[in-house]
Every structure is written in C-alpha cells, then in structure tokens.
C-alpha cells in the first residue's frame, strides 16, 4: 500500500538521547529545556527573531488571533484545511470568505478587498501547499484598511522568498508540526511574530494567561503549551530537515517532469524555494479527478483531494455566496504521495499508473 503521507521517523538512538534528558532533569512540560532548545534552533534554521512553540497548528492560529486582538470578522480562503476556519471560530471570529487566484490557489487580494465589511479586523490568508500568497498585495491591502494579517503557514516551513523565510510576512505566521508535516513533533505548532511584545503576550496566553516566572495572572488565557516529549521528537527530526526538504523537492520534480502535459499543476511562485509539502495535480473537472482517484485506489496508491470540499460549501461554515475558483479547484485537485521514504521506483510506478489510466480514457 502506498499512502499519501508517512510521518518521518528519526533515528531511534538520536530520539532516545533527547528523551534521556527528560529523565535526567525530570521536567516533562511547562516551557522545559527541550522546548526552549527547539525554539532557538528553529529560529536559527529559519532566520527569524520571535517564535513560540505550541501544542498544535490549530491552537497556533487561535492564539495568534487572540494575541493580536482580532475580533468580529476575518477575511480568509475557503480553499484550505478546515482547521483554518475552525481556529477562527473557536475564538469567536467569523470567517468571511473571498475567492482564490485560480493559478496560485491562494487568497486573491482583489477578492479579499471586496469581502471586507465594517466588522473585518484581519486577513487570514493561507500559503496553500507552501506556495507563497501575494504577500505584497495583501500587505498593502491590510495597511490601507488598517487590518492585521495572520498567515496560516501550516504548509510553509522551510520556504524562502527573495532569499529569506516566508514566515517573516504578516503580524504573525502560524505553523503546524503535525506528524504528517515535513517537520513534526507528533502534534505541535509554532507562531512567528513580527513584534517581540506580541510573542511575550502569546507566551502568557498559552500558559493560562499567567506570567511564567512570577505567576501573575495577566489575561484570560488557556493551555496550548508544547510538552518536552513533543520537543524531543522535533529536535531529533530537525537534524534531518535539510535532507527531508531535498528529497521532497526531488520527488516533486520527478512528478512534474513525468506528468507534464498529462495533468495541470498550480503555478508556483518563481521567487520562492519549494519545500515539497504537498504534490497537487489538477484534472479537468470533478468527474476526471474522481475517476483517476478511483483508478489509483485500485492500484493501492492512496491519494487525497486536499482540500475538498471548499469550506464555503461545508455545513458549519456554509456561505450564501459562491466562490467559483475555490469550488472548481477543490473539485478537481488531487494530492499525490510525497514523503522522503518514497523510493524513485515507487514514484515512477505512480506516474506510469496515472498515464496508463489517462491514456485509456482517450480510447
Ligand atoms: N492550517 C492548515 C492549512 C492545515 O493544513 C492544518 C493541518 C492546520 C492548519 C492545523 O494544524 P494541526 O492542528 O493539525 O497541527 C492531516 C493532518 O492531521 C493535519 O495536520 C493537516 N493540516 C491536514 C491537511 O492533514 P489527514 O486527515 O490527512 O490525516 P490522516 O490521519 O488521514 O493521515 C494522512 C496520511 O498519513 C495517511 O496516508 C496515513 C498517514 N499517517 C498519518 C498519521 C497521523 C501515518 O502513516 N501515520 C500517522 O501517524 O489530516
């Protein structure tokens, strides 16, 4: 069976050497030494200044929104994993949708502007599949209309744009370190803040609103702390991250070379590096997508239609308005398997199975 994803499992001995430190020190949670070390090493790796590790990517987004005092409505994309809208709703912010650009598949700035209401206080775009949003156009819109921007960067770890981390854009950018992600801590997440002050406030918000050292209660907070067990996994995986990024990139190139002319691909930003977080292909329409998907299932190749359905059509988030590009994309996208353990032979087998199926339709 070929799965769409497979968590990266680091060397057991290396993981154990980090876990050993938990036994030595006796600290398992509450901003322990491993969490602090992982925070520092990620900041170094990414070249960023202010970062906070949290329990998962959904809480990362909710905490960032709360930290920046975002209320009322936030304009966001319907073409994303459900967590983006859920994280807003969970802190009482209404997700208001705007359409996506049909070629980059990210929130379209002009559509976002049209969706603004008197209640909108923020933009929450997503760097879908690690492909950068039009950060300049969205930043300019936010500046002109006095809005905060939080990028859901759950897919964007390791992406550089114009030679520096994509995570430096926005008032905050949030990450997911779920097991299925290219870098992971089992469950986990992170928030990159532009301002140190915001990072400090968030640090208190994830710890019941208390000041870590004095115990003073400052805000109505919650618990979104990362544990030492999660950080141990992260530290063990981090050492292999350059190799993970390289291998994922290679797999993407094999897919794109082999399937050029057979399927469509999103348009990747020419100014950014690619992290190989996902391997999306686009078919002509939903009928073609579902037919290919079934053929791949029969061959024991398990793909996923990330992100179907468009959230604007999903019952809890249903919007009256239709979003043509987001809905059409959600209906015709399919993500192919991508993870470092996928051998060249298997990638070629997946490509051949796709081409064989598509050729059979022509006859
Ligand atoms: N924002 C965006 C844009 C996101 O995409 C996400 C999460 C978030 C926010 C929220 O971040 P977190 O709160 O999750 O940190 C997965 C992940 O659970 C989710 O993190 C991710 N995005 C979403 C796109 O995908 P599923 O439903 O695909 O997971 P599952 O269990 O079906 O696994 C996928 C593949 O991986 C399968 O082939 C099985 C394999 N697998 C999975 C796990 C967990 C394994 O082999 N072993 C494992 O332990 O959701």
What is the Å distance from ligand 1's center to 179 Cα? 7
pLDDT (tens, 9 = 90+) of the chain, 363 residues, equals 999 999 999 999 999 999 999 999 999 999 999 999 999 999 999 999 999 999 999 999 999 999 999 999 999 999 999 999 999 999 999 999 999 999 999 999 999 999 999 999 999 999 999 999 999 999 999 999 999 999 999 999 999 999 999 999 999 999 999 999 999 999 999 999 999 999 999 999 999 999 988 999 999 999 999 999 999 999 999 999 999 999 999 999 999 999 999 999 999 999 999 999 999 999 999 999 999 999 999 999 999 999 999 999 999 998 899 999 999 999 999 999 999 999 999 999 999 999 999 999 976
Count of CB atoms situated within 10 Å of the CB of 297: 11
Phi, psi of 291 (to 5 degrees): -70, -45
154 lines ligand 1 (CB under 6 A): yes
Cα(56)–Cα(103) distance, integer angstroms: 29
Max Cα distance, the chain (Å): 74
128: which residues sit within 8 A by CB, 6+ positions away?
Answer: 77, 79, 80, 100, 105, 106, 155, 266, 307
Atom of ligand 1 nearest to the CA of 337: 38
Closest CA to 156 of 138, 178, 135, 176: 176
| pTM, entire model | 0.98
pLDDT for 363 equals: 62
Atom of ligand 1 nearest to the CA of 181: 20
For 256, the enclosing helix (H) or strand (E) is: helix 241-259
Atom of ligand 1 nearest to the CA of 126: 3
Cα(293)–Cα(308) distance, integer angstroms: 13
Tell how strand 120-124 and strand 148-152 pair up.
parallel
Question: Which one of 6, 180, 185 would you pick to mutate in the ligand 1 pocket, going by the greatest count of ligand atoms within 8 A of its CB?
Answer: 180
278 lines ligand 1 (CB under 6 A): no
């Amino acid at each position: 069976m070929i799965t769409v994803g497979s968590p990266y499992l680091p060397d057991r001995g290396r993981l154990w050497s980090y876990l050993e430190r938990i036994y030595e020190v006796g600290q398992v949670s509450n901003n322990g030494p491993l969490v602090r070390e992982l925070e520092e090493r990620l900041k170094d790796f990414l070249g960023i200044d202010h970062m906070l590790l949290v329990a998962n990517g959904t809480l990362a987004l909710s905490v960032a929104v709360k930290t920046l005092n975002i209320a009322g409505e936030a304009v966001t994309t319907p073409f994303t994993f459900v967590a983006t809208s859920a994280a807003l709703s969970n802190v009482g912010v209404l997700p208001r949708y705007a359409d996506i650009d049909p070629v980059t598949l990210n929130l379209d700035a002009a559509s976002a502007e049209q969706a603004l209401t008197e209640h909108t206080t923020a933009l929450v775009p997503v760097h879908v599949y690690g492909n950068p949003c039009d950060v300049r156009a969205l930043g300019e819109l936010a500046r002109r209309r006095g809005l905060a921007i939080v990028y859901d960067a759950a897919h964007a770890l390791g992406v550089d744009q114009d030679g520096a981390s994509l995570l430096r854009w926005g008032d905050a950018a949030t990450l997911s370190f779920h097991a299925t992600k290219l870098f992971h801590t089992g469950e986990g997440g992170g928030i990159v803040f532009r301002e140190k002050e915001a990072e400090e406030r968030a640090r208190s918000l994830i710890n019941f609103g208390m000041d870590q050292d004095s115990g003073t209660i400052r805000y109505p907070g919650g618990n979104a702390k990362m544990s030492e067990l999660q950080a141990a996994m992260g530290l063990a995986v981090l050492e292999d991250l350059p190799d993970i990024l390289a291998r994922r990139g290679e797999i993407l190139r094999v897919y794109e070379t082999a399937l050029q002319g057979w399927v469509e691909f999103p348009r990747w930003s020419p100014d950014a590096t690619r992290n190989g977080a996902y391997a999306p292909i686009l078919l002509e329409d939903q009928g073609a997508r579902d037919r290919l998907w079934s053929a791949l299932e029969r061959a024991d190749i398990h793909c996923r239609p990330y992100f179907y359905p468009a959230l604007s059509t999903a019952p809890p988030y249903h919007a009256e308005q239709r979003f043509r590009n987001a809905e059409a994309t959600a209906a015709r996208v399919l993500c192919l398997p991508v993870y470092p353990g996928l051998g060249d032979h298997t990638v070629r087998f997946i490509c051949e199975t796709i081409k064989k199926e598509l050729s059979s339709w022509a006859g």
